[in-house]
Amino acid sequence: MAIMLGPVLQFLGIHERRWGVSLLVVTDTAAPPVLQCAAAGGAFSLLSTLQSGAHVWRAVLAVVQGASAQRVVYRVDGQSYAFHLPADGESPRMAYASCNGFSSPGLMKNVVDKNALWTRLLNVHAGRERINGRSYGPYHLFLMGGDQVYSDALWQDPACPDIVAWSQLTRDQRRKVPWTAALQKQVTNFFENLYLSKWSQPEVAQVLASLPTVMMWDDHDIIDGWGSYPAQDHDCPLYQGVFAIAKNCFSLFQRHSVLGTPPPCTLPGQSAFSAGYRVGTTGLLVLDMRSERSPERKLGNNLQSAQVLSPASWAAAYQWLDAQKGMKHLVVMSSIPVVHPSFELLEKMLGALPGQQELEDDLRDHWTSAAHRAERLRLIHRLFDFSKAQSCRVTLVSGDVHVAAVGVLESKREATDTNAQIINQVTSSGIVHPPPAAMARYFLEHACLQVETVDRGITAAMYEFPTTSRRLIGARNFLTLEPDDAANPAQRLWVNWWVENEPEPSCKVIHPVR
């Protein structure tokens, strides 16, 4: 038997003081892999069979949390691996990354080592990188904020001749092409092979086997810009067929589940994949901003507004928030930044710049676009209300834009507790995808000087990285989020951006609400 992929770890939350982790393995035979773990029993069962005949296996480990942190060793078919979990009641140490791929073949040519940041993440996690006498890690969770794979090669893939032929039609012709059995087979093979090939790369595989993940998809896990095309394109048979296959593969590979049987911590009462986790006094709210994203469309005599999440999904998220007690820090994963220069401003500044098209692709379906501003405003108000009512710090973690950045939402609507009326946003992107062209970054940096008035008394601004004059870092990066030790009364969160070719991380400290 040969293991084609895995093990890939996924965090399942904490239930009755048990730290839940699922393991996903893909093999080329029908014999299940052998799992050994002294800390928790478990065995592989068949989850699904791929179109190629490969078998997808899943096992679940539930490790009892103790008074101190643990290193859990497990073996799959005799190969040894390990992951870490915090002490009972302690907040987790987390890593975050996004954009694991390339949106065009030309971008690969200028990247010497495409997985250099994956290697560094593994070294930081293992404590092998010491800076000023200090080592970092180990980490308990790996948040993956979107674009875990890039499907952009689909349209030129020789193994998908019907897709290639479709892409050469006029726009009106494309909208009328029916979804066929041949398309189903070609696109299914493409997505299944995409996950197997990208995640089995040694540098990636080592991280996925040693850090329990919390993954949420973004557009490149489907198709670039998914959900923001005109309704006639969005609703056409081919786009909907591709989406259905991408959704099935996301559920299988990223969430270790089949459609209709979501894993623990998925929010109830919604048809999307949004999830909520609680670890000690830290909460993690993961918003699915692609499953239900749809453009504005006309229905009879009525105009249906564009949406990012459905009303049911927002209600599920708010219900989860309302149930939280004693939370001190809420981390919200929003694949697209809530705070970012508006596309309208960039349109005026960009002109015919190198990298303009890439930047437009990244920004065209952002929260700051006119179609999503009302929905964004409701989210911002709700997070400020939660922060104030619970005396809980809120931090947004985002990716997508291929730069690192710091954003801040500030509310002065009430001056009674100014410290509670700050929401920080930290953006890390991408771990593989290179940054936009230098000229585009130059104009983007200038756009960051603008302070946005979100609502009466609420502003959004891009801040300089501490001890620097830059608001953007135009290099590949990932970040880590490390709480103070439990015994430290400060209870701060230390955010470190690990930037390619920079020996020391860029750091920002986030203080709790006082």
CA-CA distance, 152 to 433, in Å (whole number)?
13
**Residue 87 Cα distances to 14, 61, 491, angstroms:** 12, 17, 16
pLDDT at 146: 97
CA-CA distance, 374 to 129, in Å (whole number)?
44
Q: What is the pTM of this model?
A: 0.95
Nearest to 482 by CA among 140, 213, 206, 63: 140
Question: Which part of the chain has CATH 3.60.21.10?
Answer: 90-510
pLDDT at 514: 78
pLDDT class for 316, splitting at 50, 70, 90?
very high
pLDDT class for 440, splitting at 50, 70, 90?
confident
Q: For residue 90, which phi and psi values (nearest 5 degrees)? A: -85, 155
Mean pLDDT taken over the chain: 92
Q: Residue 29: pLDDT above 50?
A: yes
Query: Side chain identity at 7, as an amino acid letter?
Result: P
177 contacts 237 by C-beta, under 8 angstroms: yes
Fold classification of 90-510 (topology level): Purple Acid Phosphatase; chain A, domain 2 (3.60.21)
The 8-class DSSP code of residue 447 comes to: H
Take residue 328 and report the two structure tokens written for it. 């001190």
Question: Which part of the chain has CATH 2.60.40?
Answer: 1-87
Fold classification of 1-87 (topology level): Immunoglobulin-like (2.60.40)
pLDDT at 301: 77
Name the more confident of 364 and 337.
Answer: 337
